[in-house]
Amino acid sequence: MAQDKKTNVLSAGKNKIIHSKALITGNGSGREDQCLFWIALLSLLLINHFRNPLRNVPGPFWAKFSNLWLVYHTRQGRMHRKIIEVHEKYGPLVRLGPHEISTADIDSLRIIYGAGNDFRKSDWYMPWQGNRKWDLFSERNESIHRAQRRLVSHIYSLSNMKKLEPYVDSAILFLLKKLASMEGEKIDVGRWTRLFAYDVIGEITFSKRFGFMDEGIDDGAFTMIDNILQCANWVGHTPWFYYLSIWLAPIIGNRLAITQRQGKLLQISHQNIKDRRERGTDRNDMLEQLFEVQREKPDKLDDICVTSMAASNIFAGSDSTSVSISALLYHTLRNPEVKKKLIDEINEHAAKNNIPHGTVFDLEIINNMPFLQACMYEALRCHPAVGVSLGRVVPPSGLQIGEQFIPGGSGISANAWVIHQNKDVFGEDADKFRPERWMEEPDRVATMTFFDLKTERNFLSFGAGSRYCIGRNVGWLEMSKLMPTLFHDYEVEFCDPCKDTREVAWQFRTCRTYHL
């Protein structure tokens, strides 16, 4: 059955070629020509539509004919909300493009994102990778990715976090010092969590803060990253446009900001590695650990790979963490009873473990603070930092979801913003911020969390399966150390409740800005 469907798709492709040829060789003139052009175009769209095996999947009208619907809505920066809206309107399977399906079907997630199931990353990731030979995040060949990830995964492991802890502590203490100097002032949370998260990555990767918190300002990196994210977000839906612009670059110049990910970002990473080599350090930072791998396997991890890994830390590790910290603070402050419960737990552990003010909470202590952990899960459930869907390609054998067969080669994706609202998994009050849900009903919690590989499918904030966030432990470490230390030392409040919030989604940055 899968093969038949595949043949259908191929012959639809053939039709496309014949028709476009007919358009080029048409020999009419003037209005007649124009008329023929529109008739041919319309016929082409209709033929493609009626031959498309996905034609019965409901979805927005314009999405049936081209990916422009996706391009338009991702450019608006509100795709994370739009996707919830279309699932509410059309059901668990929604067609977002001629060959693109979004799923909210919980059972299908295990198949799509399950490690070893051959659903490779979609071509949406292609512009992210460009001509890079090593890029964990956007590598679309699963076996290349597996080999690369195996080389470096221990550096991001839970057991390795102990080594990184002192560097995170040092950035937290610096942040507290800065906050003390701003006491009573209005603080832009989005900006300060971002300055903090970048400086942490500097500390743990290069043994040196980038110095953003020192000045309270970045060095232009934020604008560069915003531009890259904004561009990558939409251009990934039209990879042909990316190729075209690269091809035309010698004539029209480099017009797409995403190319800076292969250019300027790698240069920044390269420069930081060079400076760090010259400075030297007795620390065992992440770069040192990458050098260790390189010394052992120089043929597998050359300088380009090390540069790329360090760039990944900067790019994938900073914004995602700052958005998550910001979301955690936001939800905690919006819910006074949660805030009180959290502060009680913090004070209880501080008293029990003799933690003086101005001291960062240890990893062992925070791991034993269940309400803090529950708040973090709940914040990331209600506000996943990654706002776009995680696109995959259906393998040649196809995919059956309920009554619908999805042929090989189709795009399939799920979005954390949609999945996390599922009432069967998260409860009837899934739309509410209620950390307690992570502490009650062990059976339900087992289906919500990702600790058990069999059930990891329903908490998508860190992705899933073989492409699960490699830096999850780093992000978690930062969040879980900062929160209790901050609340232990400061009275934190909204400046002007809810008036000042704004939300925007550019892939790794579905952020909400507000002031404290």
One residue of 44, 54, 71, 136 binding ligand HEM per CB under 6 A: 136
163 is an interface residue for ligand HEM by CB under 6 A = no
Rounded Cα distance, 394 and 410, in Å: 5
Rounded Cα distance, 130 and 126, in Å: 6
State which residue, 213 or 385, has the beta carbon closest to ligand HEM: 385
One residue of 233, 269, 321, 413 binding ligand HEM per CB under 6 A: 321
State which residue, 81 or 149, has the beta carbon closest to ligand HEM: 149
3-state secondary structure at position 302: coil
Closest separation in Å from C-beta 5 to ligand HEM: 26
Q: Of 199, 201, 172, which Cα lies nearest the Cα of 286? A: 201
State which residue, 137 or 167, has the beta carbon closest to ligand HEM: 137
User: Beta strands of 68-174 (E only): which ranges?
Assistant: 93-97, 100-103
One residue of 474, 483, 505, 511 binding ligand HEM per CB under 6 A: 474
3-state secondary structure at position 20: helix
One residue of 53, 60, 317, 484 binding ligand HEM per CB under 6 A: 317
Structure tokens at 13: 């492709």
236 is an interface residue for ligand HEM by CB under 6 A = no
Rounded Cα distance, 69 and 157, in Å: 39
State which residue, 93 or 390, has the beta carbon closest to ligand HEM: 390
Closest separation in Å from C-beta 201 to ligand HEM: 6
Rounded Cα distance, 101 and 70, in Å: 11
Q: Which of residues 431-470 bind ligand HEM (CB under 6 A)?
A: 461-463, 467, 469-470
User: Which of these segments, 5-13, 40-48, 91-99, 308-316, binds ligand HEM (CB under 6 A)?
Assistant: 308-316
Rounded Cα distance, 10 and 230, in Å: 33
Question: Using CB atoms, what's the residue nearest to ligand HEM?
Answer: 471
Residue 225 and residue 319 in contact, taking contact as beta carbons nearer than 8 Å: yes
506 is an interface residue for ligand HEM by CB under 6 A = no
One residue of 52, 103, 230, 313 binding ligand HEM per CB under 6 A: 313
Rounded Cα distance, 391 and 168, in Å: 32
Q: Establish how many alpha carbons lie within 13 A of residue 120's alpha carbon, considering only the half-sphere containing its beta carbon.
A: 19
What residues make contact with ligand HEM under the rule CB under 6 A? 136-137, 149, 312-313, 316-317, 320-321, 324, 385-386, 390, 461-463, 467, 469-471, 474-475
